[in-house]
Chain A
């Protein structure tokens, strides 16, 4: 049998190739290019090798913002995942309550990020904001623009408000896919509410929860807009998470080399954590 040789089909791949090149490959390679060189503008570059990487990895500033970033992500995961599951468990399974709850839950997810930041900024202002003013009226010394603790509290509250819904919706979908027969079987066995949750609901939600944790990890680890609008990284540097710090370095100080090196390190950390986490969660699946 003679195969016709016709390589014209490759032309069809060109659009995707161009798109991916401009969308991902070229910008990434530019960053890689910057990270190994020093520039003073005018398109003049000088080779620096791994100097910027060493500098970033050893800099206290990077350690501090990385530490803040992990702390923030850890705290919001710790709040949002259990809270999301708990809300999903209490949501109605049928009747008119279902669409009402689903719409209410999706609301925060539909609001643009900078609007969320602005909303919370005004909401939390100590003199005129509803939250800030009420707290002060109740006798709490609350001022998120000046006290680091308050700034953290407000940022975390804002993120919980904005993103817990995502965990709720995913968990709710997971819960709804459990056949009623499972609950009946547990009831016949005489299992407690906790045992039903632990041995039926949680294992059955495993996949959507893995997804929820991954999404929330990535999103919160790369958070920029909301804290930028709310606190601008302040007071001082106390809420300057990695991306805020990165933008300061790249655009504020125009340190392109170190900023590029930091971007790449940042990128690899996200990749690494996701990879480790995903493999841990899916370990059992692979065995079967």
Chain B
């Protein structure tokens, strides 16, 4: 089983929503589409589902060209950011709805709904109507509807975005397990890099209607092909600065901070990307280097501290563990873990690859 997009392009009027995209999703995989709002995640999913036709290009499913085939004829299901359920059906009827329509026998429906309801912890509320449920339960119902069908393709369009933090964490942990033993392709759209890391599988980074990079999630995260992919897959935003390298010595263009680099790259000027968690208020790794900063913003989020600081013309974000209280305007020392630096050439391609 596989889903393949071949040079799929989507234009609406003169605007291009999806630039020519080729991507192949394999059986039994979870694929995360990661990108900000308007990156084209939803459009891409609607094309995959058959809800929308591509302007050009082809969609192949299981070695068959399904371009232009109606959504009803494909075996797919979709879960949305909004909690979409039939308002005057009970939870049971909602979950059963895709089966009733296709004429599955009553006994089988009962058994399948029961199984899925248990999996999603809905057994106790099968007789309730959607608007009597909490947001989390409504979304579980929508998920159950998607699962009960045994679709070949399950599309999840930011399913956790409208849930509050606790419910989101809870459901996010459960999600990969739900799809573990299923014979299907799962596509999961999200704006949150942390969602992608938690879910694992494969990730495609998207920006402005283009797929920037597609591969195993950790690979895309650790070795982004280029600066754009790295930026998309970084939250808080990645710190970027220009450096010059001569021999083993590296130096920022804008200040005097120096370090030794073992990266096997030619001398010259590069851009480096530093993820916020690699700049900390304490030393980490064997090759950390000190940098002075003036605190601009200091935020505590649970067990982490976010410190925005400036150094000359650089304007950076650091993320440290624990509660590190800093005052605005304070001069402070931070440490950068140089082992984790990502070096990009003038064409924004990653050069210290592996």
Interface residues of A (CB under 8 A from B): 179, 181-182, 184-185, 187-191, 195, 199-200, 203-204, 288
Contacts and interface: CB of A to CB of B under 8 A. Distances in A.
Contacts of A200: 86-87
A200 B84 CA distance: 10
B77 interface: yes
A204 B76 CA distance: 25
Interface string B135-152: 000000000010000000
A182 B72 contact: no
B14 interface: no
Contacts of B82: 179, 181
Contacts of A189: 97-98, 101, 145
Given A184-B78, A188-B76, A188-B77, A288 B84 contact: no
Given A184-B78, A188-B71, A199 B131 contact: no
25 contacts: A179-B82, A179-B84, A181-B84, A184-B46, A184-B51, A185-B80, A187-B51, A187-B72, A188-B51, A188-B71, A188-B77, A188-B78, A188-B98, A189-B97, A189-B101, A190-B72, A191-B101, A199-B86, A199-B87, A199-B89, A200-B86, A200-B87, A203-B86, A203-B88, A204-B87
B349 interface: no
Of A179, A181, A200, A288, the most chain B CB neighbours within 10 A belong to A181
A188 B97 CA distance: 11
Given A288-B129, A288-B131, A185 B84 contact: yes
Contact of B88 (A188, A195, A199): A199
A187 B51 CA distance: 8
Interface residues on B, range: 20 to 34
Contacts of A199: 86-89
Nearest to B87: A203
Contacts of B286: none
What is the predominant secondary structure among interface residues of chain A facing chain B?
helix
Interface string B77-103: 110111010111100000001100110
A187 B89 CA distance: 17
Nearest to A182: B84
Contacts of B5: none
A195 to B, nearest CB: 7
Contacts of B97: 189, 191
A61 B284 CA distance: 97
Nearest to B157: A181
A146 B89 CA distance: 52
A208 to B, nearest CB: 14
B163 to A, nearest CB: 16
A184 B47 CA distance: 12
Interface string B20-52: 000000000000000000000000001001010
Contacts of A191: 97, 101
B330 interface: no
A109 B78 CA distance: 42
A199 to B, nearest CB: 5
Contact of A190 (B49, B88, B102, B132): B102
Contacts of A184: 46, 51, 78, 80
A146 B324 CA distance: 93
B78 A185 contact: yes
Contacts of B102: 190
Contacts of B51: 184, 187-188
